[in-house]
Amino acid sequence: MTIDYLIENVSVNKSFGGWQKQYSHHSKTLNCTMRFAIYLPPQASNGKKVPVLYWLSGLTCSDENFMQKAGALRIAAELGIAIVAPDTSPRGEGVADDEGYDLGQGAGFYVNATQAPWNRHYHMYDYVVNELPELIEATFPVSQQRSISGHSMGGHGALTIAMLNPERYSSMSAFSPINNPMKCPWGQKAFTAYLGKDQSTWRNHDASELMRQATQFVPAKVDQGLSDDFLSEQLKPEVLEAAAKVSNYPLELNLHEGYDHSYYFISSFIEEHLRFHANHLNK
């Protein structure tokens, strides 16, 4: 079956011998125009299909934050890994929004909304798991080897998506993820709006709940700064660590003195994450 996608190139920049590109396309899943960024390493120019790391960003971010601030492209070029960064939510006129930064546009939380008015557009889970990879694999010289990573809200998305689809991902990692959204203000606000008040429907989108009950394992690496302003109230890495012990999950959790929630933190350890993924993608 041939899959045809109409995508429009927004920008292109050469970087470390590869190409950093932005595209827009109409998403059938989200019922709006979406934008994503892709970095194609030099190896992809030689007719070789390269593996892909999907990066999910945090609250208020777009596809641009990681590509411009993380310092990941040099290592991706060395390792021969493509990086794909979608936007964090549907956007545009007619797309539901909220006055708060932590709900609505820029805050899709990587779930499929079931509640009005969000359920018309907010199906970021299906977009990241199905539509976007189909588009990427049909359009660019990439393989079906995938890993997934993210930051904060995107770390929550990376961990939950990988654990719900262990056959699709070689590895997963996160910086400062929302580990227990059922028990923190960000998660409770978003899940109530998108999924409704029945908390039994929230469990499939809580990394700690999924890790505690896991029987199939995706190798996991999580880094957390101990000077993160959101650490105790929103992120709760100790809950994820406890869950991993219950199921003997292969989780590497690293805590770093002095580091905060910013891209200064991400850029300090992104090389370690890319090499972690490369090891598993090469297997």
Dihedral angle sign, alpha carbons of residues 145, 151, 156, 159: positive
Question: Which of these is catalytic: 261, 273, 277, 280?
Answer: 261
Q: For residue 148, with 0-12 CB atoms within 10 Å meaning exposed, 13-18 middle and 19 or more buried, which class applies? A: buried
Active site residue 121: no
Active site residue 102: no
Question: Which of these is catalytic: 27, 89, 152, 208?
Answer: 152
Active site residue 228: yes
Catalytic residue numbers? 152, 228, 261
